[in-house]
Amino acid sequence: MIKTEDYIKNPLKEKEVERKKAERSERFSTLLAHLGLVLLTLVWLYPIVWIILHSFREEYRDGIFVGIVVSHYIPKGFGFENFIRLFTTTLFPRWFLNTLFVATASFILSTMMTLSVAYVMSKIKFKQRKLFLNLAIILGLFPGFMSMIAIYYILKSLGLTETLFALILVYSAGSGLGFYVAKGFFDIIPNSLIESARLDGATNATIFTKIVLPISKPIIIYTALLAFTGPWMDFIFARVILGETNRQIHTVAVGLYYMVHGSQYADGNQFTMFAAGSLVVAIPIVTLFLAMQRYYIEGVTAGAVKG
Amino acid sequence: MKRKLMLLVMLAVTLFIALGCSRSNPLVIWVGAEVQEFYQEKMEEYIEYYNANNDEPFPFVVEVRAADTGSAAATFLDDMDAGPDILTVAHDNLGRLIAGAGAIRPVQSQALLSQIESQNPETFLNVITANVGGTEYVFGIPYEAQSLILYYNKKYLTEEDVQTWEGIWSVAQEQGKRSLSITGTDGFNNSFLVLSSVVETGERIVRLYEDGVLENTEFVTDYMVSVLKWGQRFFTSPNGARQASDSGWSADLSTETSLTVIGGAWHFNEARASLGNNLGIAVLPQFTLTEDDVYGDVQAGTVMQSGTFTDTKMFVMNRSSDKLDYLEDILLFLTHKDVQEQSFVRNSTLPAYKNALQEFDAMQADDIRTQLAVAQIAMFEHGIPQPFGREARFNVFYYQRQAPDRILSILRNTDNRFNTDAAIVTEMIAIERIWLGHRD
Amino acid sequence: MDKKNNFIVETLQRFGNAFVRFAQAIGRLFKGFIARFKDGSTGTKVAHLIMGFGNLTHKQYIKGALFFVLQIGFLLIFMLNPEVNDTPIGFKALQNFITLGTEEGDLFGRLADNSMLMLLFGVVTFGLIVVFLAAYTANIKSSYASDLMVREGKKPLTFKEDLAELLDSRFHVLLITPTIIGVLTFTLLPTIFMIFIAFTDFDREVVPGLNLFNWVGFENFAQIFTGSGEIANRFLPVLSWTITWAFFATFSCYIGGILLALLINKRTVRFKKLWRTVFILTIALPQFISLLAMQQILSEHGPVNAMLMNIGILDEPFAFLGQARTATTARISVLTINLWIGVPYTMLMTSGILMNVPKDTYEAAQIDGATKFQAFRNITVPYIIFITTPYLITSFIGNITSFNIIFLLTGGDPNVPGSVAGQTDLLVTWLYSLTIEEGDVNIGSVIAIFTFIITASATLLSYRRSKAYKEEDTFQ
């Protein structure tokens, strides 16, 4: 009896011990993983928190406001002085509205153009399709800065430089070339869906607007998100096209960049104001990104796999 | 419903775009960012005056815009048609502006010419004229001046200490600090050594395009070798001079890493925020050549005075402006010495007017802003206006063909390449050849 | 070796084929012309001379009128040479394109010719000619198509019907026309223009409108390889650093991203969404903000140096970026900061892929008694590599042209005495400072062309790869 019991129990016990061992090591590795993640999070948030802290920094030396970079991470005084100065002594409110305008207009145009091209390249077979695809790839490889000077003079010949409209044109005109991700998405839509609609007598236009677009919400949002946030981040093209002296029509990126860098506008004592401006710009964009996270991830993944 | 909404949005966007693109044809003036508001107000005053004295009202809207006066000439030349009617440039850009077919127009009204002559010091008159096709023309109307001065930390340095670099250096040694941060690496910032002069004779040790002639240039002199050797000791000493850290020179001051900074009036706000009430302002110091430095005929113990470029900012007129008839009258008003004085009171700009120190009431005060102005004016004795205005090439040769980098690498003794006199002289010959326009 | 040869031969063959096909296409074009002329109605024949005439005879009034207006407009432009910014477009522009201007101007009154606009408008005029020829052909084809319809006893399409076609059988035309117009004016035209600039002496001493520049042939290209100046000295170092940078930046972010994705997606890790959100935050933050902040944080008096000195790791501040003592230090720093920017992207991307690792393969492996690590090494890793190869190549290309990181962190420094290009300058940042800051537009263009050649070769390679992969059904 005992022998049999031993025979039966021992393996069980062994298994039990093994399971516990595995559980312990599992728990240990989980703990380690969490620790690692906390550490990485700290590293990734370090600069972001620094900017936030400094946008609220309010320090004085002998009654003079100190806005230059300092070596202590946590400010010695907090307040809203930077924001007050940002909105009352600089053109920041104006820049913000300019950017909002440019971003809105160019995201509507870009999204329409990108999706149109992507749909054509994916679902409509026509003679020059391959030629267009190859041309698009080749053109996309030329460094954009080089054409910047030429673009400036083309716009000028059209009488458009130094206007926000010119900036919208530049941001949207070439946007159709970035159709790959959306094309990848449309490729997945089964052709049978389109063919059956055609058998029902639908025109190509109806198929696109009534059948394809309604099921393409993720890719529409992804494209729109990127097109909308672009103008908030670009400080190179905008600077050349809007001109250095037209501060009235600058975008936030150009205005803030000039606040701390390049030329005599740059006043090191405005660094904390730059931080405050950064925060005001970052909040809507980051919120948008986080709200649309799901679609953004979908787009990134699709783009990566399709190449 | 949805469609209507879409339409409404589209309509709003179109309207928005149309609004964003509406343009007019204003009279545009570029001035430095710090005085933009001031000159906008002055122009309103001018228009009021104009309207009161003329039958027709002033026909344009005037826009005074902030421009970086250092790069305004380049920006303007990139696209003259889009440029302003009047712009502010540093005088040394004159050469670029009149090169080729000439982007700016010479002054023609007698009234303006005589005001320029009566208000400005001799040195400025030399650099605002240029010879085109055998005739001398006046192109610029000076209204501001600037030179480099010393910002120092009063907590460590007395007025006595800042008389000489050696005085500053020894305090820095005691305190374990740096003597000096230079704010940039270009030929403007190392001019405190390159433009230095012998105190006893007042003789400047460099010759730079004198009288607008390329060949009137000499860099390789015994004095210059000695000064660069002195500079090398100063820049390689742990307590000597350094390039400003990548945190910015103001951080160097506020963290008390460096005791002094060489800067212009445009550095004032930042310097003040860095040091508060400890901010001191002085004329650039003197220094003494030692046994270790002297080269050739130079005597040990020779006292040298640091130099600077003493520049003027001036208005020039865009040749392709369609409002030329109105410009000279406006300039007569904007550059008048009374306006210069008001600008000094309001914006602490340094007037170009030659008797400002004696005649302006505001110059008699004893606050820090007046000290700034007085020190700058004092530096005019130890400086020369940048002599690059006569020809566009001079500016390129002096600033752009890497000569400043090479001077700096002698001073820093980069890779120990300049341990011997011979090595320094060889490099100096190379620099002189760049200045003379050789491309090798 | 063999493979390489094959590749070259293949590429040459492909070019050869393309050339033959191009010649054939032109042949067909002419044959088509002759056939249509012979076979077409009188209206079609006249349309060869007067555009829109054929359509008019078929009562397609609006279409015909449009073609006619197009022809008149083109001829007017070509003959009258309208001036924009004092520079003509049209026949004169073609002459100007060759001379690049002759009038030198003077101080009072006469303006100099604007060589740059002349070059630009020359290209524009060529473009106009191409567009006109396309319209001309379309005019004949349209008339001929109507001829055929009449012959078949049908009525030619009315303008309304033509428009309706745009929503159906020619819907693609409607959809891509705006993009084509945009790309032609704002991408293709500037690109061609800049390629031409590489063959001129448009350098920092030229101000368009004040003095002229001229054609110099291949001089600028020669200067890079045989010259003794700064451009020649710095080209190879910058090129090799660009490629090194692209290689390390791509793979470090790739590996880092995959590891991070594995960590977050570990079965037992909690708050997955929270962790992911943290990293998305850094993607959403505009780079000019995060990178400028990084630059300040890592600077001499920044908080990182202060912290390291407080702990006692450093005695005196350490320069990480533009003022680093050695090039290697600065390069390692920018590569490290690039991880901060790049890892979240790869993490997001591979997260999606990791969830899709084929489960049945895993189960089969476990039944076979494979350990977790073995399963990971033999299944997960090859799967990820297989599926992300296209991404690796695009990200390599992206890194070759990555501008913000270098521009905002170091500005290309540490400085090399005697050169515009510093130790961390990439080809793109170098060409930016050459063209925008220094005004040497011609040399900048040459560098842009080289950058293009590099990215184009990488793309060509990636095409081959993806083709090779397409032929296989599985990834093992």
Per-residue model confidence as pLDDT tens digits over C114-136: 888 899 999 999 999 999 999 99
User: What pairing do the DSSP bridges indicate for beta strands B27-31 and B62-66?
Assistant: parallel
Q: Tell me: the pLDDT tens digits for A156-193?
A: 777 777 788 889 998 998 888 888 888 888 888 888 88
Torsions phi, psi of B263, nearest 5?
-155, 175
Please report which helix (H) or strand (E) contains residue A294, including its range: helix A293-306
CATH class of the domain whose range is A83-306: mainly alpha
- For chain C, what are the domain ranges? 40-217, 224-471
Task: Output Rg (C-alpha) for chain B, integer angstroms.
Answer: 24
Is the same domain home to B172 and B89? no
In this structure, the answer to whether residues B64 and B45 fall within a common structural domain is yes
Q: CA nearest B313: which of B365, B366, B350, B260?
A: B350
Provide Rg for chain A, Cα atoms. Answer: 28
Q: Which residues contact C305 (CB under 8 A, 6 or more apart)?
A: A71, C298, C299, C314, C317, C318
The 3-class SS string of chain C reads CHHHHHHHHHHHHHHHHHHHHHHHHHHHHHHHHHHHHHHCCHHHHHHCCCCCHHHHHCCCHHHHHHHHHHHHHHHHHHHHCCEECCEECCHHHHHHHHHCCCCCCCCCCCCCCCHHHHHHHHHHHHHHHHHHHHHHHHHHHHHHHHHHHHHCCCCCCCHHHHHHHHCCCCHHHHHHHHHHHHHHHHHHHHHHHHHHHCCECCCCCCCCCCCCCCECCCHHHHHHHHCCCHHHHHHHHHHHHHHHHHHHHHHHHHHHHHHHHHHHHCCCCCCHHHHHHHHHHHHHCCHHHHHHHHHHHCCCCCHHHHHHHHHCCCCCCCCCCCCCCCHHHHHHHHHHHHHHHHHHHHHHHHHHHHHCCCHHHHHHHHHCCCCHHHHHHHHHHHHHHHHHHHHHHHHHHHHHCCCHHHHHHCCCCCCCCCCCCCCCCCHHHHHHHHHHHHCCHHHHHHHHHHHHHHHHHHHHHHHHHHHHHHHCCCCC
User: Element (H or E) spanning A108, and its range?
Assistant: helix A92-123
Name residues 236-265 of chain A within 8 A of B (Cβ).
Answer: 243-247, 263-265
Residues in a beta bridge with B86: B29, B317
Give the chain B residue whose CA is nearest to the CA of A271.
Answer: B270
B400 in contact with C, Cβ within 8 Å: yes
- Could you tell me if residue B14 is inside a domain? no
Given pLDDT bands bounded at 50, 70 and 90, which one contains residue B132? confident
How far B366 CA sits from the closest chain C CA (Å)?
Answer: 34
> What is the maximal distance between C-alpha atoms in chain B?
94
B106/B128 Cα distance (integer angstroms):
10
**C224-471 has which CATH code?**
1.10.3720.10
Mutation target for C interface from B108, B247, B252, B253: give the one with most C CBs within 10 A: B247
For chain A, the chains sharing at least 3 beta-carbon pairs closer than 8 angstroms are B, C
* DSSP SS3 for A251: coil
Residue B156 pLDDT > 90:
yes
Q: Are residues B178 and B117 in the same domain?
A: no
CATH number at residue B188: 3.40.190.10
Q: For chain C, which residues score pLDDT lower than 70?
A: 1-8, 106-110, 357-362, 366, 463-476
C229 and chain B in contact, CB less than 8 A: yes
Residues B298 and B405 in one domain: yes
Note whether C419 contacts B98, CB cutoff 8 Å: no
pLDDT higher than 80, residue A119: yes
Residues B350 and B428 in one domain: no
Domain extent at residue B319 = 25-145+311-384
Q: Find, among C254, B8, C293, the residue nearest to A51 by Cα.
A: C293
- Candidates C194, C285, C290; nearest CB to A147: C194
Residue B336 lies in a domain: yes
pLDDT at B14: 58
Residues B121 and B54 in one domain: yes
Query: For B313-370, what is each residue's pLDDT tens digit?
Result: 999 999 888 888 899 999 999 999 999 999 988 888 889 998 888 888 888 888 888 8
- Element (DSSP H or E) covering residue A102: helix A92-123
pLDDT at B18 over 60: no
Torsion of CA C67, C73, C75, C81, to 10 degrees: -160
Is B389 a domain residue?
no
B393 inside domain: no
Residue B198 has a CB neighbour count (10 Å cut-off) of 17
- The pLDDT assigned to A303 comes to 62
**Among candidates A67, A165, A263 on the partner chain, residue whose Cβ is nearest the Cβ of B20:** A165
**Structurally, how many domains does chain B consist of?**
2
Residues of chain A with Cβ-Cβ distance to B29 below 8 Å are none
Does residue B166 share a domain with residue B126?
no
CA of B383 vs chain A CAs: smallest distance (Å): 22
Mean pLDDT value of segment B277-288? 94
Are residue B113 and residue B191 in the same domain, yes or no?
no
What ipTM was estimated for this complex?
0.86
Report the distance separating Cα A289 and Cα A269, nearest Å. 31
Question: Nearest-CA distance from B388 to chain C in Å?
Answer: 15
Query: Is residue B298 domain-resident?
Result: yes
Looking at B341-431, which runs of residues are DSSP E strands?
Answer: 350-351, 383-384
Amino acid letter, residue A292:
M
pLDDT digits (tens, 9 = 90+) for C232-262: 888 999 999 999 999 999 999 999 998 999 8
Cβ distance B180 to B245 under 8 Å? no
Residues B292 and B280 in one domain: yes
In whole angstroms, give the CA distance from residue B281 to residue C153.
97
